[in-house]
Structure 1
Amino acid sequence: MLARFNNQSVIEEWLVNKTENNVNKWIQSVNLYSVVCTNDDLIVGFGAITLKGEILLIYLVPEALYKGNGKLMLEAMEERIISEGIEEIHTVSTITAKPFYERNGYTKNGMPLLVGNIKGNFPLIKKIPPN
């Protein structure tokens, strides 16, 4: 989806930490909670959140978009963080994912940051109501 903006420098900056080695580290980290979404035994999505409540990523293959898969992964990550007693969940969203987070209760948490020469990182927050 990022490719639709056709800005190679933004894409390259965004991909810099998306290596196989880093993904393996994320999965194995005791400080992160990772989720996968499967369809017919194929992994179609991956998400990761720190145990302090920072969503690092939620990715889906294009065929899995707009079918509730992202929401299911987000809810699973939120439930885990709530069980840790965290009261706020933070993320820095792409412009593409920003409406998804907003539909799920996230609000603006600061000014957008530049990625390359465009505003592309949007700090968001979701406050967890007390039980």
Structure 2
Amino acid sequence: MEIRDARREDAEEACRVLRRSIVELCAADHRHDPGLLAAWLSNKTPQTVAAWMSRPDASYLVAVDEGAIAAIGAVTDAGEILLNYVSPDARFRGASRVLLAALESRAAERGATRCTLISTETARRFYRARGYEEVGPPVRKFGMDSGYPMSKPLGLTATLPVPSGGV
């Protein structure tokens, strides 16, 4: 699996991954409600995804497996994870895990000391298993009450206590 920066020409395939992930994998969130799905998918167009990719304060990354985009993610320079969606074809093959690690590394490279995100119900356990903690009550997003604010410190200095008495 290769992780690389997303390119403008990836927008159409990345958009398909986003839409399929939402429709096929996030039923715990949208409950197959046509109105909720329509709201969630409304801004997931190739044109919108291409515009997102040109955002100067964020990095859009893709996980590519056997020539196809397996997952797409985005993180701001401040450490806010905006996207982390996996293709149903790549689920449970490590794409989300590897992509999340790359997003966290990119945020740290850009000076962030913590990553924050709003998790879906579907991904909540995934993020908890990777050190994220819930930091507030659920928030409403796209008409659903299943957005969970989460946070994780980045780097060794943020997770290990400094020994007293010097090193």
> What TM-score do the two structures reach when normalised by structure 1?
0.90
**2:26 paired residue number:** 2
Give runs of aligned pairs for residues 47-126 of structure 1, distance below 5 A. 47-115=73-141, 118-126=144-152
1:63 deviation in Å? 1.4
1:115 deviation in Å? 4.1
C-alpha distance in 1, partners of 2:142/2:42?
Answer: 13
Match of 1:127 among 142, 153, 158: 153
What stretches of structure 2 of length at least 5 have no aligned partner?
A: 1-24, 159-167
What stretches of structure 1 of length at least 5 have no aligned partner?
A: none
Does structure 2 conserve the Cα–Cα contact (< 8 Å) formed by 1:9 and 1:116? no
C-alpha distance in 2, partners of 1:94/1:105?
Answer: 16
1:116 deviation in Å? 5.9
C-alpha distance in 1, partners of 2:119/2:151?
Answer: 10
C-alpha distance in 2, partners of 1:62/1:106?
Answer: 23
C-alpha distance in 2, partners of 1:117/1:76?
Answer: 30
**1:14 paired residue number:** 40
RMSD: 1.7
Does structure 2 conserve the Cα–Cα contact (< 8 Å) formed by 1:3 and 1:11? no
Amino acid at match of 1:86: A
Identity level (%): 30
Structure number having the greater strand percentage: 1
Q: Deviations 1:64-83 (Å, cap 9, x if unpaired)?
A: 01111101100011011111
Task: Return closer, same or farther for 1:31/1:115 CA change in 2, 3 Å cut-off.
Answer: closer
Match of 2:69 among 43, 52, 56: 43
C-alpha distance in 2, partners of 1:99/1:60?
Answer: 15
> Match of 1:125, SS?
strand
Q: How many residues align?
A: 131
> Match of 1:130, SS?
helix
Q: Deviations 1:24-75 (Å, cap 9, x if unpaired)?
A: 0122222111111112111121111111111111111111011111011000
1:85 deviation in Å? 2.0
1:114 deviation in Å? 2.7
C-alpha distance in 2, partners of 1:23/1:51?
Answer: 18
C-alpha distance in 2, partners of 1:115/1:33?
Answer: 22
Amino acid at match of 1:130: T
